[in-house]
Amino acid sequence: MEGQKRKRILVTGGAGFLGSHLCDRLLAEGHYVLCVDNFHTGSRANLAQHALNGNLKIMQHDIIWPLHVKVDEIYNLACPASPVHYQEDPIHTIKTNVYGAINLLGLAKRTGAKIFQASTSEVYGDPKVHPQREDYWGHVNPTGVRSCYDEGKRCAETLFFDYHRRYGVRIKVARIFNTYGPRMQIDDGRVVSNFIVQALSGAPITIYGDGRQTRSFCYVSDMIEAFVRLMDTGDDFCGPVNLGNPCEMTILELAEKIKELTGSDSEIVFKPLPSDDPSLRRPDITLAREKLGWEPKVGIEEGLMRTIEYFDALLSKGKRQLQPRPGAIALAQG
């Protein structure tokens, strides 16, 4: 870290999919990292490669309760992000988003730390504007089965901007679009992990709806690069900023691509679409290009092959009995 200050950085949700990759990046840069996770969906195995790294500390803690530590930066990634997981306990999900935001913003206020909020494209709901720009206010069902997550993240954004306006807390708000890669959970019900596991196992590939709904998939290394660039911007830029890959594809196209890359002969089957599943999803990343000098570099085929290799290795280690949860309302397609 020659010529660069070593920071004390808190990553909540640090044992999860995105959180663990972020910890990798921050540790590689030589920072001290405090990973906080309640391990509801995160796993210590995601950080096992750092077992001997004295710069990493892991703390089991739920951010719905206050946290008292001294840090320079905070990345708040704590919240289940797949419908299967956040709908298991919707009240705890909204507590994580709202109480968690209040507790971490309070910590940032006390310590002077800069704080990053992992918001989501779900704040746009089932959009009436396409592609989605940051100035679009969204089309969200406030009482539906997804609202614990969608409205929880919207409320968290409100809290972040109110703490910034009222107390001068230095905030960074990122709206994350679909992200995939190694360390996704095998049973998280998300469309990429579902399709890959089904294809590798020879099971039917399950599409919810007619497959014409669209998503835009960003590989995890590109997303982590965007996180770090956003945190490093000056205090005059708070966001929100869309982070994702603007290359849009239908769910059916994704299924066919995964069949091709895995060499699978799995049948594609169609089931009813879950409630409030968005029909369109593509980010306008003009602001990210302008403010962060960022855009995704990893193409969908390259990223999918890396992810397929990861899941193939998992399944080959005697885990072929593991399947996506029955009825995983993924619906994932989100």
Over 80: is that where the pLDDT of 117 sits?
yes
* Residue extent(s) of CATH 3.40.50.720 domains in the chain: 8-179+218-243
* Residue extent(s) of CATH 3.90.25.10 domains in the chain: 184-215+247-279+299-319
For residues 20-49, give the mean pLDDT.
97
The listed CATH number (1.10.1740.10, 3.30.470.10, 3.40.50.720, 3.60.15.10) that belongs to domain 8-179+218-243: 3.40.50.720
pLDDT per residue as tens digits for the range 225-277: 999 999 999 999 999 999 999 999 999 999 999 999 999 999 999 999 887 77
Among residues 99, 149, 163, 180, the one annotated as catalytic is 149
In whole angstroms, what is the distance from residue 127 CA to residue 149 CA? 16
pLDDT of residue 279: 85
Over 60: is that where the pLDDT of 319 sits?
no
Fold of 184-215+247-279+299-319: UDP-galactose 4-epimerase; domain 1 (3.90.25)
149 in active site: yes
Instruction: Decide: helix, strand or coil at residue 73.
Output: strand
**Model confidence pTM above 0.85:** yes
